[in-house]
């Protein structure tokens, strides 16, 4: 749970796994399901060889087709009940304390953020900052994974704020440094 990497191509998956990623989330936005599945097969296989959970973003059916370990659903994505009924690990997004409380107990982890502004998601909610992250972590019993603007320079602050882990997109290729920062904060 320490280091989630969100990615959309195999080479970044390889670099991130070799660098210490503990979860890989396959995130292809605005792509037909058939492409998500076709392009995800090699990444799924790579994760299996490394013994790292493979999670599909936003699409329970694609997760099932890929034999994924889990699915991460945004606030407006359907499928939480279907994911649970199929035994998938479930992550839910929360951009506020109220949303985190609503997700508490319904998921295996809560993706909280954005902690900081991020160019990876242009339609992201306003940043919650470390204070917002701290409040969420203190208010829920479900493990929290911080997301949004996180890199090796600020990952440790998220762990110190109470997060069980961090999720990175831009810093996925810098997994070694991010993982070192996380481990130093634990």
**Residue 104 confidence (pLDDT):** 97
Q: Among 61, 58, 51, 52, which Cα is nearest to 23's?
A: 52
**Residue 186 confidence (pLDDT):** 86
Which residues are catalytically annotated? 27, 93, 121
Asked if 42 and 33 touch (Cβ cutoff 8 Å), the reply is no
**Residue 18 confidence (pLDDT):** 97
Q: Which residues contact 87 (CB under 8 A, 6 or more apart)?
A: none
**Residue 119 confidence (pLDDT):** 78
125 torsion bin: left (phi>0), alpha (psi -120 to 50), beta (else):
beta
Asked if 116 and 81 touch (Cβ cutoff 8 Å), the reply is no
Verdict on whether the full-model pTM lies above 0.85: yes
What token pair was written down for 23?
């979860």
**Residue given tokens 């810098």 in the structure block:** 174
- The ranges of the chain with pLDDT < 70 are 121
**Residue 76 confidence (pLDDT):** 86
Q: Among 50, 83, 54, 87, which Cα is nearest to 68's?
A: 54
């Amino acid at each position: 749970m320490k280091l989630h990497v969100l990615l959309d191509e195999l080479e970044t998956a390889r670099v991130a796994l070799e660098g210490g990623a503990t979860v890989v989330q396959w995130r292809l936005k605005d792509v037909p399901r058939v492409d998500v599945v076709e392009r995800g097969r090699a990444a799924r296989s790579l994760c299996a060889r490394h013994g790292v959970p493979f999670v599909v973003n936003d699409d329970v059916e694609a997760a099932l087709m890929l034999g994924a370990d889990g699915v991460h659903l945004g606030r407006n994505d359907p499928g939480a009940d279907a994911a649970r009924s199929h035994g998938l690990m479930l992550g839910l997004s929360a951009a506020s304390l109220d949303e985190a409380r609503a997700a508490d107990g319904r998921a295996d982890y809560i993706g909280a953020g954005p902690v900081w502004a991020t160019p990876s998601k242009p339609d992201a909610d306003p940043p919650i900052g470390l204070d917002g992250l701290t409040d969420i972590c203190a208010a829920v019993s479900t493990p929290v994974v911080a997301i949004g603007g996180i890199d090796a320079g600020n990952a440790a602050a998220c762990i110190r704020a109470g997060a069980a882990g961090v999720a990175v997109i831009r810093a996925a290729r810098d997994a070694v440094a991010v993982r070192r920062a996380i481990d130093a904060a634990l």
